[in-house]
Chain A
Amino acid sequence: MEFQTAVFLFLAAILIYAALRVITARNPVTAVLHLMLAFFTTGGIWLMMQAEFLGIALIVVYVGAVMVLFLFVVMMLDPNFDQLRQGFWRYLPLGAMLGLVMVLEMGLVLGSKYFQVPLSEAVVEPGISNTRELGALLVTDYVFPFELAAVILLVGMVAAVVLTFRGGPKRSRVPNPSTQLYVKAKDRVRVLQMPVEKD
């Protein structure tokens, strides 16, 4: 066995194990940590395909930033997964059957004689940096979608602010001692005049 194949099999085995643990782990923190492991091994596989920049970006961006944030959220919210798992066994047979059919169908198409994609020749000449090429493509051929991706990030920011911002310190939940001291009875109790209701 070639060295590269051995490394690939090793990484792929870890990847599959990690991905399985993501969906089977009881503890959400364990699941997130396994997702990180999955990203690491995917990064390794990409490195083997000579996509150094993408491999490193995956680790830096996803593991370094996105997943750490995710971990914070999971730890802070402490969601009750037993509640989320309600009905799991009820839906399992149907879900498993559909999933199995899809996996079989996809396996038949992708793993057979039909999928004859010619091996792509090395587009990048040796000695030319992968990162440089990607960067150049982004600002030349793909500049239009690239700029739009920036607009999408802006929309994400605007949406997050719109959905969470509640009008500044006015609505802050921190009590203000000064207003608490100066409170009067009429601020607390309101006397209403109402007509008597008869049944």
Chain B
Amino acid sequence: MFENFVIPDFLPAAPEMFLAIMAMTILMIDLFAKDARHSIAFWLAQLTLLGCAFIQVYTSTPGVVYTFSNTFVDDSLGDLLKIFVYLTMIVVFFYSRTYLSDRPDMNKGEYYVLALMATLGMLVMISANNFITVYVGLELLSLSLYALVAMNRDSVQATEAAMKYFVLGALASGLLLYGMSMIYGATGSLEITEIAQSFGAAEGNRTVLVFGLVFMVSGLAFKLGLVPFHMWIPDVYHGAPTPVTLLIGSAPKFAAFALIMRLLVSGLLPLAQDWQGMLVIMAVLSMAIGNLAAIAQSNIKRMLAYSAISHMGFMLLGIVTGVVSGDPRYALNAYSSAMFYVIAYVLMTLGAFGVILLMARAGFEAEELSDYKGLNKRSPWFAFIMLMVMFSMAGVPPFIGFFAKFSVLQAVVATGEIWLAVVAVIFSLIGAFYYLRVVKLMYFDKPETETPIEAGIHVRLLLSANGLAVAVLGIFPQVIMTLCAYALLTSF
């Protein structure tokens, strides 16, 4: 029975294994260490992520490597996205530290363990080459996130958010699985690369394939939070504790991008015309509803949630314009612009939530927009960072958000879909209103308190670096853009 079996190459999955082992080790160490502030768990988690990044760089090979009977793929797209995931998680942990230690009820070692497990789920999703692996990675990520959202169990809001997230997430997983089972039925394979090759033979089953595709796209849209599957995003962003909101809003976007690239672009490219139509509708609706609903929000976390919906819609434009009616000339440009957009979005989200977490104190959440009144008087430097992040999200040059929007629009215009570009620009302009309102509150309104903002040296430095990155990478976007293009070029 095992005569044909060769022991798989474990090296490409070394970071995943290291992460899993370390997460379990931290779980045990934190249980037995007498450490009320859970500093050991915190520093070990940071070391783990650094170690993962080191292993990732050290074991990276040019070219595409399949292992574990082709359920796992290691290519430079995966390597690059994983390194971004590690870096994002390190920043997330640093930003969350003060918030958690101010709230003894939530300051548990399990926060770090569950967050590391969620990271593992993202890594698995990023390098999945089999529907089963995709699903398992997605469940690992989602399950850890459900628990993290409910972590503040005495808060009714958080419990409600976790419940909604759990029920809708389970529904989305069901949709995704049902779609996968249809595609498996029509092509007879679960392997993403094999599915792409078997399309010629499965041409007679095209209707079934499209039928499965509809369910799969719906499931993916649920996870990305695209209209009309976006209902959970505002409630979860609002109800979850702010560090968890930061976690949900940042690193998983890389995994979601990888999932779209693997499932739709590399697996189901022959059905591109079908999924592009669906994605265009969702992209336009997301930009419309996200930007319009954000105007009406008075809670900054809710506002950023609607902004996340609109940004994901914008990012989709890059994916939609990749291969137009079988013409792959613009593919590299379009996909790398979408990838750049995701990276820029995560960088901006980190900055925005970094400032929210910085202002939160024990018993005070800094969630309302009115809490930001006169921030300039209280702390000019952090107000300036928030200003850069908000300008960048609105797409004002020279910040990174401008270039992200610009490159996606360039990809859209290159394919001749001018109306799509016009719609995107109009909704971005509408969106600029609520970003600039934050700036107006910070600079032109009177502060309610005069207390200056205190923060540890780590957070100060990191947040400053984060804010400067938003500006500097906007002036020199080529650094990231070249990386994205290289990763995509060598992976597909």
Could you say which of A114, A140, A159 contacts B205, with CB atoms under 8 Å apart? A114
Within 8 Å CB of B13, what residues of A? 144
Q: CA–CA, A154 to B188, complex, Å? A: 32
B interface footprint on A109-143 (CB within 8 Å = 1, 0 otherwise): 11000111100100000000000110010001111
Question: Among B143, B153, B188, B207, which residue has its beta carbon within 8 angstroms of that of A152?
Answer: B143
Known: A132-B1, A141-B71, A143-B68. A109 touches B208 (CB 8 A): yes
Chain B interface SS verdict (over half)? helix
Contact B136–A148 (Cβ < 8 Å): yes
> B108 to chain A: which residues have CB within 8 Å?
162
Is the pair A151, B140 in contact by a Cβ cutoff of 8 Å? yes
How far is B1's CA from A132's CA once the two chains are assembled, in angstroms? 9
Q: How far is the CA of A152 from the CA of B130 in the complex (A)?
A: 18
Q: Please give, as numbers and ranges, the residues of chain A lying within 8 Å of B146 by CB-CB distance.
A: 159
Is there an interface contact between B143 and A142, defined as CB atoms closer than 8 Å? no
Q: A158 contacts the other chain (Cβ, under 8 Å)?
A: yes
Interface members, chain B 110-131 (any A CB < 8 Å): 110, 113-114, 117, 120, 124, 130
A163 contacts across to B, CB distance below 8 A: 147, 150-151, 153
Instruction: Tell me if B271 is interfacial: C-beta within 8 Å of chain A.
Output: no
Q: Is the CB of B110 within 8 A of A148?
A: no
B144 neighbours in A (Cβ, 8 Å): 155, 159
Contact call B143/A156, Cβ cutoff below 8 A: yes
**Residues of chain B within 8 A of A148, CB atoms compared:** 124, 133, 136-137, 140
Tell which of B72, B132, B153, B205 touches A115, judged by Cβ atoms closer than 8 Å: B205
Q: Within the assembled complex, what's the spacing in Å between the Cα atoms of A114 and B335?
A: 33
User: Known contacts A136-B1, A140-B69, A151-B120; is A145 also within 8 Å of B133 by CB?
Assistant: yes
Residue A69 lies at the interface, judged by CB distance under 8 Å to chain B: no
- In the complex the two chains form, what is the Cα distance from A114 to B182 in whole Å? 12
* B360 adjacent to chain A (CB < 8 Å): no
Contacts A140-B69, A159-B147 given; indicate if A145 touches B130 (C-beta within 8 A): yes
Which A155-175 residues have a C-beta within 8 angstroms of B? 155-156, 158-159, 161-163
Set of chain A residues within 8 Å of B8, measured between Cβ atoms: 143-144
**Separation in Å of the B202 CB from the closest CB of chain A?**
9
A109 touches B71 (CB 8 A): no
- B32 within 8 A of partner (CB): no
Q: Is the C-beta of A48 less than 8 angstroms from some C-beta in chain B?
A: no
Q: How far is the CA of A115 from the CA of B205 in the complex (A)?
A: 6
Asked if B205 contacts A116 (CB within 8 A), the reply is: yes
9 additional A-B residue pairs with CB within 8 Å, beyond A136-B2, A140-B5, A143-B68: A114-B207, A115-B185, A136-B1, A141-B71, A144-B133, A145-B136, A148-B133, A151-B140, A159-B143
Q: List 24 A-B contacts (CB under 8 A).
A: A114-B205, A114-B206, A114-B207, A117-B208, A140-B2, A140-B69, A141-B69, A143-B68, A144-B8, A144-B69, A144-B72, A145-B133, A148-B137, A151-B120, A152-B140, A154-B117, A155-B117, A155-B143, A155-B144, A158-B110, A159-B114, A162-B110, A162-B147, A163-B150
